[in-house]
Amino acid sequence: MTMTMVTSSLESAKYAFCVMAATISASQFKARCLGLMDQVAASGEVLVITKNGQPVAELHPCAPARRSSPFGFHPGVVLHGDLLAPIDSPWSALE
Domain residue limits, the chain: 22-62
Q: What digits encode the pLDDT tens for the residues 57-83? A: 999 998 877 766 666 677 777 778 887
For the ranges 7-16, 53-62, 79-88, which has the lowest average pLDDT?
7-16
Q: What digits encode the pLDDT tens for the residues 26-59? A: 999 999 999 999 999 998 889 999 999 899 999 9
For the question of whether the overall pTM of this predicted structure is more than 0.75, the answer is no
Span 22-62 CATH architecture: 3-Layer(aba) Sandwich (3.40)
Nearest one of 16, 10, 43 to 1, comparing CA atoms: 43
